[in-house]
Chain A
């Protein structure tokens, strides 16, 4: 099937608004029926970063905050696999091969499987979710993700009663990811990158697997082709370029916990009251919004998602389980 590049002129400029909207509604309804199947059919030609994703509907939980510019979201990245400078990923990920892509899913589930990237699009309708993203380094962005709830995937896999945690692993390929080179030539972490969630966190409707942003396939530097997004936790929990998902009984040991157990906890929920040893977490700088001479803005508990997620942690001492 053919993918058309967006025309310079908007459809709304040529067609009377009412008719255009009707048409839109019709298309949406047709799309909803064909939903995921249609986007999967589009895949072969879609399999490149920056390609427009068809049939994305508006999802719940989107913030009204102004989205950060595409330029900033795709040029200011912490993705140590491609280098530890924020500008490195955009530079070094250009030739990364995100397609074809397989995610190996196993562990405490009844239906272990290897998912081709296309399979995700076949099974799960895509939604736009505009989420705040808060980095542990006290800056934040607003990102219009395209993805699907992780819970939709988990339900298909049928976790056993022993599944308590979900462990995610990033691709390990030092040839393609220069930051993974050993010793002094690398970015100093134990590769591959591992992250984890408690099963109920993974099942939370806010948690998504993202395949795009701004309506387009994920650029390589943002974790192509598929990544996790957990908006109430610090950014490093939202692991990128996932190749492995494991359901486990024991709490996974994450990469940053290994690197600095006193600095990075398993939960890493955004919490203005619990400081990181290097950064106060009470406030943050919104990328692209605040001017050079404006003060930082207050950080919100659970990054502003307390209403949705606070109940996951009732009775827990969040200073201890940071």
Chain B
């Protein structure tokens, strides 16, 4: 028999890992059977971008869900979810620099500098890198919990950056990016509300600091 810890380690986490890979598996499958549509490069870019946003939102949902349900065990999956957001961001970035830009550095630099939606997307991608690098237990210890946490609050900005990146990409129909935006606003809004609720009024008003 496995104890609860082993169950998480040997069953729940591998299952989550495999599940999180399914979007990529499905994309590869569609590519193999030639189901990427008339403009495969655009399909891949949009698809991988969607999954970056989804994994960012799923990761950002861990804390609110934990608070609302009291299920603290959720926290054990947050790192993997966050790393999958980074993984899909890497695939998304690669699909852009390779399939779309064909590694022509001058074009890539020009796009980052001149197209606001790419500037924001690229900046968000860069900000994800230190978070991925400091995701190990050893790095958490080295940084200290406080500093680590402060650094990882960058993910709020990254989430906003991701939604803005999508919003500025679309020409006129903003419904889809708006859905991501509303979910993000709820997840971030919950944190603000939760903090205000838990911190005593004196501290919240700034009397004690």
Contacts and interface: CB of A to CB of B under 8 A. Distances in A.
A279 B39 contact: no
A84 B172 contact: yes
Contact of A72 (B38, B99, B117, B173): B38
Nearest to B175: A184
Contacts of B39: 76, 86, 139, 285, 287
A278 B114 CA distance: 8
Interface centre among B41, B44, B117, B174 (most CB of A within 10 A): B41
A87 B172 contact: no
Contact of B107 (A80, A189, A280, A294): A280
B111 A280 contact: yes
A260 B172 CA distance: 9
Interface string B151-174: 000000000000000001111111
A296 interface: yes
Interface residues of chain B: helix, strand, loop or mixed (majority): helix
Interface residues of A, number: 32
Contacts of A293: 98-99
A189 B102 CA distance: 33
B41 A285 contact: yes
B38 A288 contact: yes
A295 B173 contact: no
A87 B99 contact: no
A279 B169 CA distance: 10
A304 interface: no
B23 interface: no
B169 A187 contact: no
Contacts of B107: 280, 282-283
B130 interface: no
Contact of B173 (A84, A279, A282): A84
Interface centre among A76, A186, A279, A295 (most CB of B within 10 A): A295
A177 to B, nearest CB: 14
Given A275-B114, A280-B111, A296-B102, A187 B41 contact: no
B37 A75 contact: yes
A292 interface: yes
B102 to A, nearest CB: 4
Interface centre among B40, B168, B169 (most CB of A within 10 A): B40
A188 interface: yes
Nearest to B117: A278
Contacts of A318: none
A179 B107 CA distance: 34
B42 interface: yes
B104 interface: yes
B138 interface: no
B116 A277 contact: yes
B67 interface: no
B43 to A, nearest CB: 9
Contacts of B117: 278
A80 B173 contact: yes
Contacts of A187: 172-173
A189 B172 contact: yes
Given A277-B115, A292-B99, A295-B102, A76 B172 contact: no
Contacts of A296: 102
B110 interface: yes
A41 interface: no
A259 interface: yes
B115 A278 contact: yes
B23 to A, nearest CB: 18
Nearest to A69: B38
Interface string A279-322: 11011010110001111100000000000000000000000000
Interface of A: 71-72, 75-76, 80, 84, 86-87, 139, 179, 184, 186-189, 259-260, 275, 277-280, 282-283, 285, 287-288, 292-296
Rank and list the top 8 A-B pairs by shortest CB-CB distance, nearest first. A76-B38, A84-B173, A188-B172, A295-B102, A72-B38, A187-B173, A188-B173, A287-B38
5 contacts: A80-B173, A86-B39, A278-B169, A280-B114, A292-B99
